[in-house]
Each structure stands twice: as structure tokens, then as C-alpha cells.
Amino acid sequence: MTAPDTRPTIRLKPKADARAIRHGMPWVYADDLVTDRRTKALAPGSLAVLEDAERAPLALAAITPASKIIARVLDADPQAEIDQAWFSTRLARALALRETLYDAPFYRLVHAEGDGLPGLIIDRFGDTCVLQPNAAWLEARLAPLTAALQEVTGVAHVLKSASGRARALEGLDDASGPLAGAPPARIAVPMTGATYIADLAGGQKTGLFYDQRPNHAFAARFAKGARVLDVFSHVGGFALAALAAGAQSALAVDGSAPALALAEEGAAATGVADRFATRKSDAFAALETLATEGAQFDLVICDPPAFAPAKSALGQGLRAYERVARLAAPLVAPGGALMLCSCSHAAELAKFRAACLRGVGRAGRASQIVYTGAAGPDHPLHPQLGETGYLKTLMLRLLP
């Protein structure tokens, strides 16, 4: 690797806001950087000293010349060594927070920029960690990262997941595989009173979504004795938490047969299989069919994939959220509850809430907002990066 005293330099344009970098902003966009031939020739993942327009050093950054996010700030010290010890320091800090929050080792251990590790996601499943290196600088340093992860956590198994969309933007491949030990393909995860089955090898992202944990718990407050509908259910996140809290029944709807099979396994492991049912279907079609069947539920949850993954898709995404709310609202019994979720960072809370309320209103239902949620505290937000606060949930009580 390049020695600190021979690192290349990259420079902000005069119009760029150097103060934001000094105050902790971790991203530099291509429009804000001088991209001469020398800069464009740097290998993706290279380390460089980031300077302001007057050539004063600002920080150590990793550069990916072809990316819109052309540089990621790694350390305020331009001469920092990005080695195993550096990773260990950051991972130990991240672990200390999680061990304060959780009694069992099942959580998001690293939430990228929120934990000072740009582009890195690590989810922990007991003795196994699944990491997503979504930036070129990480891909080039998997060995010291993996060694530091095992040193700090003591886990025996580390699995690389290359399924993130961001990897393609960094010019990275989609090859997943073990980095240490022999990671299990599946693992049982205790959470919110239920047991979930995480498919570490073939599931979405790292195999399970920890971000909804506090929202599972809040929805479960409405579940005792309730008829529950969980749409876009994946592996049964809300449904299993509701059943564990005493729901009368739960129907999980998803378009993925493998995900529903995992949900059924989780229901069996939780001991609630006799009250659990699944329906493989497009979610919009299922909502329409259930309405024609005259179905009614006391608690309905809709947790779709990102309808607005980028600002260019915001309008279309908000219309989709409105449609979900309009189709779901008639299925809620009078006085029942409707939880609507968005994992689109481009759809800020106010716009998402307005779209949901339009949909409920167009379904002819009156409502009151009883809860607004976000990802759990193992998904810490970066104070200058709104994208880290992507998850939004809205719980409505539909009035009689």
C-alpha cells in the first residue's frame, strides 16, 4: 500500500464547501473535486490527501474516480495508516455501542458512515458476521478488515455479501463468499419475542433486516387478540412479532416463495405455526383481492421495498406509497391500526407522510397518527448525511 508520505493529493474546487469537510461531512461529490488527468488515473480505492482549494490538507480520503461520490473521507488525519489497528479502533467503538444496547449478539454492528466506516455494512448473527463492502477502498482491504473484525468481536465466521446495489456504482463485482471460518448458510435469530430464520448465503442483503426491530415491537403492542396482515412480509418480520405478542392470527404476503418458506420456518420455531398463514402474491394484487373477499384485519402492516431509491424516482415512488395506503386502508377494521413503511432515503418523512395520508383519505377513512418510527439505534445516523436516516414508519389508527 502507498506510504503516507508518498500519497497523491486531490483538491476541492474553489466553489466547494471545505468547512463541511472540516465539520465531518464524509462525502465529496465529483462536481466539487478537481478531476484532472492525474486524478482520473488513480485506481479505485486509492488513498489520497484531500486538500481545500488553497492546497491546505483537510483529511485522508479514498477515491473512486468514476463514481458520483468520488471521494470518501476516512480520517481527519491525512497521514493516518488504514491498517488492521485502524479498523480495530473503529470496530471496537461500534461494538461498545451495540453491547450497551443489546443483551444478545444479534444486531447491525457497523452502519457505514454512521460508524465512521464509509460504505461498510456489518450485521452480526451470534458467532457469524456478514459484511457488505460497498466501496472500492474496502474491497482492497478485506484482509485487515476481516482480521480486525475477528480480533474485536471474537467471531469465528465472516461472510462477504456482494449483493448491494452500491457495489455496481463502484465498479465492483457481485461475488459473495466466506472470508473466515465456515459461515452457516442459515441461522436462527431471536428478536422481539420471535425466532427468525436468516438466510445468510442466499437471502436479501445480509439475510435479515435488523432496522425494523423497534417498529416490530411497537406494532406488536396492537397485536394481542388481533387479526394481522403483514404485506411485503419478507421472512415474516412484523407477523411473527405480532404472533409472539398474542395475535389471534397473521397472514404474511410476499412475492418471494423462498422468503415465505423462511417465514414459515420462523413461525414453527416460535411456536405459532397454527396461527400463521402465507400468501405468495404481488402485494398490490393481494391487497385488491383481499378487498374483494371482504377481508378485515385489526392490524395491517405494509413494508415495501424502496419505491424511491433516488431523487429521480421520487414522484413515482410517492405515488406508489399513496397507492399502498389507499389499498390497505379499507382492509383495516374500524378502530384498527395501519403501519406504513418506507426505506427510500429520497422520500423524506414529510413527503412520505403526506402521500400515505392522501391514500388513506382517498380510501374514505379518517385517521390519527399515533407513532412515527425510524431504524433502531444500531443504525446510528451520521449528523451531516441524511441518507443514513432512510427508514420511516407511520402508525395510523383508523377511526370508526
Report residue 140 as a C-alpha cell.
Answer: 482492497
Cα 212 from Cα 220, distance rounded (Å): 12
Cα 125 from Cα 142, distance rounded (Å): 19
B/e letters for 222-258, b = 16+ CB within 10 Å, e = fewer, are bbeebbbbbbbbbbbbbbbbbbbbebebbbbbbebee
The answer to whether residues 121 and 390 touch, using CB atoms and an 8 Å cutoff, is: no
Report residue 318 as a C-alpha cell.
Answer: 410517492
Catalytic residues: 343
Question: Cα torsion at 118, 184, 206, 196 (round to 10°)?
Answer: -130
